[in-house]
A and B are shown apart, each in its own frame.
Chain A
Amino acid sequence: GAVVSQHPSWVICKSGTSVKIECRSLDFQATTMFWYRQFPKQSLMLMATSNEGSKATYEQGVEKDKFLINHASLTLSTLTVTSAHPEDSSFYICSASRVTSSYNSPLHFGNGTRLTVT
């Protein structure tokens, strides 16, 4: 089955530093990847849509200069949390869709990254 790999699974960083999270599709090509964020006991909130070879599309209220997204290839998207602050501490999850799937194919999710900013 399709596998989406996300790395790292957890990271602790100091306030003011930047953290990069990688999302890879391991056995399929993904023109589109999605980045979600989940706070405790809350739903997954879509942050942005990452499109291979073009700029990401951010959801309302998400700072694009703070959450930098790069989708340089069909198998890799990265999310960089710049100048992280404690309120950025959260669970970040990426998902990917196959190139040839219809829009109704289910997304495949990575295992998420737990970010803690101290």
Chain B
Amino acid sequence: DQQVKQNSPSLSVQEGRISILNCDYTNSMFDYFLWYKKYPAEGPTFLISISSIKDKNEDGRFTVFLNKSAKHLSLHIVPSQPGDSAVYFCAANSGGSNYKLTFGKGTLLTVNP
């Protein structure tokens, strides 16, 4: 049972354009969401997060939007750069003292020069 779903395995975008990566979740107990970026043979690197009390969080070129009623979040990267090419994982956890994350399968973003 995939509680965090990233339905697009890959996305290709032109440099300078906007990249939109989507994520859906099924567990209504999730209240904190994170995006991680991962290069091959490396561990994930934290990118940006959002709490369920917010619907938007912005950090430089990266913005995460959360639609709780739709159980959907998205990561916007604008403008996209070739160095953004990587696998992006959506992750979620629920309240409490643990940090256990549930990950989606990831979306491979390719930004073409």
Contact = CB atoms under 8 A, between A and B. Distances in A.
Interface of A: 4, 6, 9, 32, 34, 36, 41-46, 49, 91, 93, 95, 97, 103-112, 114
B89 A43 contact: yes
Nearest to A33: B99
B32 A104 contact: yes
Given A49-B98, A104-B51, A106-B34, A43 B105 contact: yes
B46 A107 contact: yes
Given A104-B49, A108-B46, A43 B101 contact: no
Contact of A32 (B2, B89, B99, B105): B99
Interface residues of B, number: 28
A107 B99 CA distance: 7
A103 B103 contact: no
A93 B43 contact: yes
A106 B4 CA distance: 17
A103 B43 contact: no
A109 B44 contact: yes
B9 interface: yes
Contacts of A4: 43
B106 A103 contact: no
A19 to B, nearest CB: 17
A109 B43 contact: yes
Contacts of A46: 100-102
